[in-house]
A = this chain, B = another copy of it.
Amino acid sequence: MLEHGGNIDLALQQFGGRLEDWIDLSTGINRQPYPVPPLSPRHWTALPSCSETKSLQEAARQAYGTRAPIVALAGAQAAIQLLPRLWAPGQARILAPSYNEYASVLVAAGWDVADVADLKSLAGADLAVVVNPNNPDGRRHEPDKLLALSSCVGRLVVDESFVDATPRLSLAPEAGRFGLLILRSFGKFYGLAGVRLGFALGSEADIDVLATQAGPWPVSGAAIAIGRRALLDRDWAIKTSARLDRDSRRLDALIQSQGWTLVGGTPLFRLYDTGDARAAQARLATARIWSRTFSERPGWLRLGLPGDEKEWTRLAAALAR
């Protein structure tokens, strides 16, 4: 498996402690999750019906502000896995640095993959991949810029896994047009990554291929019930966006004492240049707080937001040592 956040096994191996001792800030998963509603026995026992799956997809359309063709999958990752099924290999360019699974999956499927440093260098690619806002550095792109780009590339994949807290950045309302595929993650903003739920929005032809390739029943009954409820809860989304925005600034303020530089971030995580991320990670790990380093960028440390006051207090104490 590639290097990822959420690799709590590694924290236990390297620094000890029990799973329940650790605060995992190595991901961008919201630590104040959407409350899991009571599930009916049917969600566990029965194969999800077409109408249940459709009602989940309709809830996602409402939440994302789109009427585009959509398919529910077991996480945005499941959509990434299927990208090579959509189009014959060619030249792909990825706006880098970014989520490392794209290059891995495309190279394995025979694509010629190049990293590029800015939007305009994507033009001309058979396939362009942009994560917006970007993981890990939070770089963001205005929807009109991406829309303009989409007419200069064969296909444009926009990964909006971290867009929920800044919905005005989303291209979802424009989904459906040829050549544009948008991926959404459910688990991050709603804090329920273990549920395994995500969506792809795109042209009818592309979504048909993804649905066929995923096969019947790609998403669990629990994911349908929880996802539907959560996606229709606009109040929770608005309050959560505001809280994440406040808390991300609170984290930046807390970090100032360290002399680290903010590289960027989203309301779900922050990326700091610490000079020596391994040392910073080890220091936090002695307080059983897990963070994300990047082997190719030795200064970078990514931190998710603490979930409650107890976690904030523990983080502040760990940073004050």
- Let me know if B194 and A44 touch, CB within 8 A: yes
Which of A46-54, A149-157, A278-286 interfaces with chain B?
A: A46-54
Across the interface, which residues of B come within 8 angstroms of A46, CB to CB? 6, 8, 24, 29, 193-194
- Let me know if A45 and B192 touch, CB within 8 A: yes
Task: Tell me which of A47, A78, A212 has the highest count of chain B C-beta atoms within 10 A of its own C-beta.
Answer: A47
- Let me know if B101 and A1 touch, CB within 8 A: no
Interface size class of A (residues with CB under 8 A): 35 or more
Which of A60-68, A168-176, A219-227, A262-270 interfaces with chain B?
A: A219-227
Across the interface, which residues of B come within 8 angstroms of A98, CB to CB? none
- Let me know if A108 and B24 touch, CB within 8 A: no
Residue A42 at the B interface, CB < 8 A? yes
Task: Pick the residue among B31, B218, B222, B226 that contacts A78 (CB under 8 A).
Answer: B218
Across the interface, which residues of B come within 8 angstroms of A81, CB to CB? 213-215
Across the interface, which residues of B come within 8 angstroms of A108, CB to CB? 212
Across the interface, which residues of B come within 8 angstroms of A110, CB to CB? none
Task: Pick the residue among B51, B77, B220, B226 that contacts A194 (CB under 8 A).
Answer: B220
Across the interface, which residues of B come within 8 angstroms of A214, CB to CB? 81
Q: Which residue of B lies closest to A223 (CB)?
A: B220
Give this chain's copy count.
2
Contact residues of A between 250 and 304, Cβ < 8 Å to B: none
Q: Which residue of B lies closest to A33 (CB)?
A: B45
17 contacts between A and B (CB under 8 A): A2-B216, A6-B46, A24-B46, A27-B47, A33-B44, A44-B226, A45-B193, A45-B194, A46-B194, A47-B187, A74-B220, A78-B215, A78-B218, A108-B212, A194-B220, A194-B221, A220-B223
Q: A43-B194, A44-B194, A194-B222 are in contact. Are A75 and B9 (CB under 8 A)?
A: no
Task: Tell me which of A192, A219, A220, A221 has the highest count of chain B C-beta atoms within 10 A of its own C-beta.
Answer: A220
Measured in the bound complex, the distance between the Cα atoms of B100 and A169 in whole Å is 43
6 A-B pairs besides A29-B47, A36-B44 with CB distance below 8 A are: A4-B216, A45-B191, A45-B192, A46-B193, A195-B220, A196-B218
- Let me know if A1 and B78 touch, CB within 8 A: no
- Let me know if A215 and B49 touch, CB within 8 A: no
Closest Cβ of chain B: how far from A226's Cβ, in Å? 8
Residue A105 at the B interface, CB < 8 A? yes
Residue A7 at the B interface, CB < 8 A? yes
Measured in the bound complex, the distance between the Cα atoms of B48 and A187 in whole Å is 12
Measured in the bound complex, the distance between the Cα atoms of B286 and A161 in whole Å is 47
